[in-house]
Amino acid sequence: MLTRIDHIGIACFDLDKTVEFYRATYGFEVFHTEINEEQGVREAMLKINETSDGGASYLQLLEPTREDSAVGKWLAKNGEGVHHIAFGTADVDGDAQSIRDKGVRVLYDEPRIGSMGSRITFLHPKDCHGVLTELVASATEH
């Protein structure tokens, strides 16, 4: 069962400049940073709030580390902006299968490792009314 909006992913050309905008404009501070070599991104997670199920909601700022990464290609086509929305779940495998059974394409056969040790998978945007959708089980949930 999906429990919260885990994060909203925002693609950007300059991570440091974008982090500074969100810090100066809204007061959001960086909670976590990492480079995900597999996905070809450098990212910053800005915590927005805690949630009633013990999780949190974040903005995930994504800067590509290479042009051929999914985010790099997306930026080249669309420019900066909202890249995806992620819903939190305690059971990414079960929820992905349940959604797959409803005819929505799940992009990974098996969940992968995402930010902060989470387990993730994505749903095809063409099956989700144009929205790239991620399912996330935080490291504390699995």
Q: Which of 7, 39, 63, 83 is catalytic?
A: 7
| Residue 60: active-site member | yes
Q: Which of 39, 63, 83, 84 is catalytic?
A: 84
3-state secondary structure of 108: coil
Q: Which of 39, 63, 83, 134 is catalytic?
A: 134
| Residue 43: active-site member | yes
Q: Which of 39, 60, 63, 83 is catalytic?
A: 60
Residue 60 to residue 43: CA distance in whole angstroms: 7
Q: Which of 43, 50, 63, 110 is catalytic?
A: 43
Q: Which residues contact 89 (CB under 8 A, 6 or more apart)?
A: 1, 2, 3, 95, 135, 136, 137, 141
| Residue 7: active-site member | yes
Residue 107 to residue 121: CA distance in whole angstroms: 7
86-106 as b/e, with b when 16 or more CB fall inside 10 Å? bbbbbbbeebbeebeeeeeeb
CB atoms within 10 A of CB 118: 23
Catalytic residue ranges: 7, 43, 60, 84, 134
